[in-house]
Amino acid sequence: MRIALSAPDISQEDIDAVAAVLRTSRLSLGPKLEEFEHAIARYTGAAHAVGVSSGTAGLHLCIRALGIGEGDEVIVPSFAFIAVANAVRYEKALPVFADIEPETLNLDPNRIEAAITSRTKAILVVHTFGCPADLAAILEIARQHHLCVIEDACEAIGAEFDGRKAGGWGDAGVFAFYPNKQITTGEGGMVITENPRIASMVRALRNQGRAETNDWLQHSEVGYNYRLAEMNCALGISQMKRIDAMLARRAEIAGKYHDKLRGIENLRLPALELPRRKLSWFVYVVRLSGTLTQFHRDWIMDEMHRRGIGCGRYFAPIHRQPAYHTACGPRADLRVTEFEAPRCLALPFFNRLQDEQIDEVCENLGELLQLAGSRAMEEPSANSAAGFY
C-alpha cells in the first residue's frame, strides 16, 4: 500500500535503546523488564505492573489468576478482537456475549445484567478503539453481583474515565504493544492491578509457574512461557518517554480527519470528545450510514486497496466467527453489534501520517461514498453478503 493502514513510530533513540541491550549479557528477565514495569505503573498509577509477551497472554493470565475455569461464564462484547473470547476459552470457561452502545461501541451496561447467570464469574470490558467504557456503571453491576472485572485496555493506554487511567479500575487491566498500538514493543503486553496476589500469580504463571521464592527448576504452578524479552522492554521504555507527544499527535490526526470528512453524506464519524472520557486514539474508524451497508463498505474497502490506500474492517463480530459457532454461552440479542459492525471502516492512522496523505484518503473516500450512494451501486440480496463483516 502506498498509504499503510498503520505503522510504528520508531526513533533513532528507540533503535539505540534496543541495540544497547544486545551489548549486554541479559536478554531476558533483566533490569529493563523491571524498569518498563515501573514506567507503566507510574504512568497508570497502578500498584503493580507485570510485563508479558502479549496482550492476549495478559488476558489469559488474568483469567487464570482470578480462578475462572471450566463451566464458568465471562461476559464479553462480540464487537472486539477475538483474543477477549479466546482467553476465556483457554481456561475452558464460556464467553457470554452482550451487546454494545451505538455511540461508543463499548459494552452497554444496560445489557450486562440480562447476560448474568449463576455461572457468571467476571465481566471482561473492552475499551474499544481507545474509548473508555462506562466503568462506573459496569463496576456497580459487578459489585452488586459479586463479579470480577478485567479491563481489556489493549487499545487504550492513556485513556481516562472520570480522570483515572483506563486499565486501573477493575481487578486487573491489560495493555498491548503490538506495532499498530499507540506505543509498541514489537510484541508485548502488561498486566496492571492493585491486588498483590494477582500480581504475584501473574509473575509466576508468565515464567513457567515459578514463584518468586522458587529456584529456576522449582515450579509452584503449571505455567507458561509468557515472558517479555529485554529488547522489547528497552523499546517500551524509550517509547514511554514520548507517549504524551505520540498521543497528542494521534489526537491531532483524528482532528484533521474530522475536519476533512464532516458533512459528507452517508458517513458517520467517531466523536472527538465524550463526557467523562479522555480518548486515546488507537484507530480512526468511520461508519457508513443511511442506505449504505456491508456490501458498500466492502466495495469501498476493495477500491481503496486498489488505489494503494490501506483500510480495515474493524471488527468482525466474534459470534460470527466459525470457531465460535458452538463455543460460547447463551446467545443474546446483539442487534447493535449486528447493525454497526458491517458498516465500520478503519482508515490509515499512524503517528507519521502526513497531511497530503490524509487529503488523499479523504478525497478518495468521499468519491467512493458518492459512487456507492448512487443508483449505479445495486446491493445484492442479503444472503449473498451474509457472514462477511
Which residue numbers are catalytic?
181
Integer Cα distance of 187 and 232 in angstroms? 7
In order of 68, 144, 170, the CA distances from 140 in angstroms are 20, 6, 11
Q: Is residue 186 packed enough to be buried (19+ CB in 10 Å), middle (13-18) or exposed (0-12)?
A: middle
Q: What is the DSSP string of 153-190?
A: -TT-TT-EETTEETTSSSSEEEEE--TTSSS--SS-EE
CA 293 to chain centre: 24
**Residue 270 DSSP symbol:** P
3-state secondary structure of 286: strand
Integer Cα distance of 196 and 190 in angstroms? 15
The neighbouring-strand residues paired with 172 are 150
